Every structure is written in C-alpha cells, then in structure tokens.
C-alpha cells in the first residue's frame, strides 16, 4: 500500500532522543522544550512560542486568551478538521460556521457579508443579531498548507473588533512571497497562531503543538495556563484553573530534529507536486487544486479535484485502493457533525461541492518516483 502521509525520521531524531534520555530529563522541564520553542520562534521570526501537547491544546489556549467566554460565539470554517472547532465547545461557547472559497479556505466575501448584515457593533462588542450573542473571535485555517487570505481576514477582524486566530496546524513553513505581509509566516499574522506536530503533519513530534502570539504577555499567560497555572512552585498555589498542556522533553527532542529538516521536506513536497501536476493537467477527469500564488506554501497535502462531475468520489477512492493507493476524502463538514448540526451555518454552498469532489492523494516526503508513476497511471485509467 502506498500510504497517504507518513513521517520522515531520517534526521537527528535518534541522536536528540538518546541525548534527552541520557540526561534523565524526559518530562516537561528538559532543555529541548526551551530549545524547540526558541528554534520555532527564530524560524517563524516571532518573539516567542509555547510548546504544548497538541495543536488542539494550542487552539484552546488561543481562544481562552482571546477572552472567549461561555455563551459567546466564534466564527469557524465548516471545511476543516474538527479540532479547529471543538475547543470552542470546550469553553461552552458556540461556533458559527462559514463556507469555503475555491481555495478551500474560509470565504472572506461571505464572512464580510455576515459581519456587515448579520451583526451589530454594541457596547459589549460585536453581537450576532440572530442569536444575540457576542462574537469574540474568528478562526482562520490554512487548509492543507495553503495560505488563507490574511490581508482581508486581518482587515475584517480589526474593523469588527474580533480576535483573529490562525489554525496553522497544517501550514508550518507557509509564508507570503509578496503583498502587505511579505515574508510573514502563516500563524504569525493574526493575534494567535496554532501549529500541530501530529504524526501526519509536515513535521512531527508524535503528538504535539505550538502556540505563537502577537502579544508577548499572552504567550507568557499561555505557558502559565498550560502548566496548571501554578503560582507557587513550592507550596503549589494556583489562582486559576489551568491545564496539563506542556510538551515533554522527548517530544521536543523530536521536534528540534524535525524542524531542521522542514525546508528539505517542503522542497520535496514542491517537486512532487509539480511532478503530479504535469502528469495530471492533461487528464480529462482530474485536476490538482492550485496553491495561493502570493505565498510559498508548504504543500502539505495535495488535493485531487474530480473535474468530471459524473465521477463518484467513493468509487474513485475504491478503484485506487484496489491498486494499493491510499487516499482520503475531505473531513465530514463540521456543521453537519452531530454535535454541531443545530449551530448557525451561513449559506454553506461551496464546502459541500468540494467535499464531494476532492480527495487527497499520497504526499509523503519519502514518496518514490515509481510510486507516483503508479498513481498517475492508475488515475489515467479511471
Ligand atoms: C491536525 C490539525 C489540528 C489539530 O492538531 P492536533 O495536534 O492533532 O491536536 C487542528 N486543525 C487542523 C486544521 C489540523 O489539521
């Protein structure tokens, strides 16, 4: 079976893990945690970063630090992994679902229309007129590593006074090549950026995440909340309800080694994307979705678009599976998941269209040319 996406551990992973083991510091206090945070901050060109247990934890902390309270609302895309949404519910707040555009990222036209027509600025903040709840933040997800339209998202969030949280779980290494945010990385433009190092992400720590913040004091607060909000380390005084979200030294040792390989991984992802794209472009039935031209995208996942609307997505996946090729549909849309089916969803039209017509094809950095040829040949026969 050619897997969809597997980790590439050919760098200094073993060396740093053994070093961490030899040091005896395997929990959250070891030196690799601080080193991984520094390495991420210097790669991303941010003042700091907070290493946590998962991307989900990073999003949860970002929402808490944005001041989201129970009973308030957060705007989220429906086309995303469920972890972009669930932390809203952890807080007892409510998601409001937005559609995607043709890049699969949040539709800024609809977002603007929603903010303008459906919301009112009040003394307690932006209020959703249909629910009477305060809207505190918007979560923008860089789907499959493709830069969302941060110029518009930032302008809208500022105009309407809501926090902008970037779910950059899939987009480590994506940055603007031009425009207002030239040189800036996905996850460093909004108020908060959340990254994930889950097993299938572009770099992995087995499981883990990282939070960045525009405001240095928010980042310090994130580290405090992630470490059980301990105010006195000897008498164990806690003045707030905290979380056990800190990353361990073993995870961080993996992270340091993986981050050293990130640029190589992106180069491979670019080369493989171009190889697929050249071969798929002439096909009648398929097309690879493009990445944002203004950005150097990390090209984490490749989206195969079923151009021929007569093709059935599940049957295409089944035919590929019979040829030992693993593929995956886009996540079940969040607004249709059982726990959110009564939530507000604002004119969701494109998301179901793409959900039905896009599958992800193998994209590991260890993919061999002969494996890509096999995949291309299988596609050409459908
Ligand atoms: C992977 C992912 C997350 C969650 O990251 P974990 O580290 O698995 O908690 C959140 N959002 C998106 C879009 C993701 O792909």
> Which residue carries 């994506």 as its tokens?
174
- Three-state DSSP class for 238? strand
Domain coordinates in residue numbering, the chain: 13-258, 261-380
Burial of 45: CB neighbours in 10 Å, binned 0-12, 13-18, 19+: exposed
Reported as a single tens digit per residue, the pLDDT across 331-375 is: 999 999 999 999 999 999 999 999 999 999 999 999 999 999 999
Nearest-10 crossing angle of helices 13-23, 249-280: 170
- Distance, CA 7 to ligand 1 centroid (Å)? 15
- Helix 249-280 vs helix 369-380: angle between axes, to the nearest 10 degrees? 50
Which ligand 1 atom sits nearest the alpha carbon of residue 80?
13
Q: pLDDT, tens digit, for every residue of 237-250?
A: 999 999 999 999 99
Strand partners, 232: 237
Instruction: Give the H/E segment covering residue 328.
Output: strand 328-329
Closest Cα to atom 8, ligand 1: which residue?
198
Strand partners, 135: 73
> What DSSP assignment string belongs to 56-98?
HHHHHHHHHHTT--TT-EEEEESSS-GGGTHHHHHTT-EEEEE
Could you please state the CATH topology (level 3) that the domain comprising 13-258 is classified under.
3.40.640
Nearest protein Cα to ligand 1, atom 14: 169
- The strand pair at 344-345 and 94-98 is best described as parallel
The Cα 373–Cα 366 span in angstroms is 14
CB atoms within 10 A of CB 333: 21
Cα 26 to Cα 10, 22, 258: the distances in Å are: 22, 9, 18
Measured in angstroms, how far is the CA atom of residue 81 from the centroid of ligand 1? 7
Closest C-alpha residue for ligand 1 atom 2: 169
Degrees to nearest 5, angle at CA 120 with 78 and 135: 40
For the CA of 54, the closest atom of ligand 1 is: 7
Dist CA 65 CA 300 (whole Å): 28
Give the residues surrounding ligand 1 with Cβ less than 6 Å away: 54-56, 80-81, 83-84, 141, 167, 169-170, 196, 198, 209
pLDDT at 112 over 90: yes
Per-residue model confidence as pLDDT tens digits over 66-109? 999 999 999 999 999 999 999 999 999 999 999 999 999 999 99
Assigned fold of 261-380: 3.90.1150
Going by their DSSP bridges, the two strands 163-167 and 133-141 should be labelled as parallel
Ligand 1, closest atom to CA 84?
11
**pTM (predicted TM-score):** 0.98
Q: Which residue's alpha carbon is at the smallest distance from atom 13 of ligand 1?
A: 81
Q: Are 104 and 131 in contact (CB under 8 A)?
A: no
Give 140 Cα–ligand 1 centroid separation in angstroms: 13
pLDDT level of residue 309 (50, 70, 90 thresholds) = confident
Rg (CA), the chain: 21
Q: By the 8 A CB rule, do 180 and 12 touch?
A: no
d(CA 275, CA 267): 12
Closest CA relative to residue 44, chosen from 166, 157, 127, 137: 166
What is the C-alpha to C-alpha distance for residues 127 and 135, in angstroms, rounded to an integer? 6
> What pLDDT is attached to residue 147?
98
What average pLDDT does range 302-324 have in this prediction? 96
pLDDT of residue 23: 94
What is the CA(51)–ligand 1 centre distance, in A? 14
Give CA–CA dist 216/189, Å, rounded.
14
3 state DSSP class of 349: coil
Q: Which helix (H) or strand (E) holds 230?
A: strand 230-232
Reduce the DSSP state of residue 375 to 3 states and report it. Answer: helix
């Amino acid at each position: 079976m050619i897997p969809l996406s597997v980790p590439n551990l050919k760098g200094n992973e073993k060396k740093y893990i053994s070093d961490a083991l030899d040091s005896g510091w395997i929990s959250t206090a070891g030196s690799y945690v601080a080193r991984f945070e520094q390495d991420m901050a210097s790669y991303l060109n941010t003042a700091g970063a907070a290493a946590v247990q998962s991307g989900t934890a990073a999003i949860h902390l970002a929402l808490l630090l944005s001041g989201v309270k129970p009973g308030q609302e957060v705007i989220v895309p429906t086309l995303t992994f469920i972890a972009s949404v669930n932390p809203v519910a952890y807080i007892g707040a409510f998601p409001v679902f937005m559609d995607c555009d043709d890049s699969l990222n949040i539709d800024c036209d609809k977002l603007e229309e929603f903010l303008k027509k459906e919301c009112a600025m009040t003394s307690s903040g932006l209020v959703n007129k249909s629910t009477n709840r305060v809207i505190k933040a918007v979560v923008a997800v860089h789907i499959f590593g493709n830069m969302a339209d941060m110029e518009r998202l930032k302008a809208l969030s500022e105009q309407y006074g809501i926090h902008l949280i970037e779910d950059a779980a899939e987009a480590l290494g994506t940055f603007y090549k031009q425009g207002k945010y030239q040189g800036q990385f996905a996850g460093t433009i909004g108020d908060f950026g959340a990254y994930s190092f889950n097993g299938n992400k572009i770099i992995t720590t087995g499981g883990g995440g990282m939070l960045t913040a525009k405001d240095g004091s928010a980042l310090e607060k994130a580290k405090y909340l992630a470490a059980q909000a301990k105010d006195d380390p000897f008498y164990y005084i806690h003045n707030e309800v905290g979380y056990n979200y800190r990353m361990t030294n073993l995870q961080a040792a993996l992270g340091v080694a993986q981050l050293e390989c990130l640029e190589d991984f992106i180069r491979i992802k670019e080369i493989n994307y171009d190889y697929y794209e050249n071969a798929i472009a002439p096909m009648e039935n398929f097309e690879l979705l493009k990445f944002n031209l203004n950005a150097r995208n990390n090209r984490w996942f490749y989206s195969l678009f079923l151009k021929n609307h007569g093709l059935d997505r599940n049957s295409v996946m089944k035919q590929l599976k019979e040829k030992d090729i693993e593929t995956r549909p886009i996540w079940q849309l969040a607004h249709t998941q059982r726990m959110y089916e009564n939530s507000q969803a604002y004119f969701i039209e494109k998301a179901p269209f793409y959900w039905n017509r896009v599958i992800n094809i193998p994209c590991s950095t260890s993919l061999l040319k002969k494996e890509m040829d096999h995949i291309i040949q299988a596609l050409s026969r459908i």
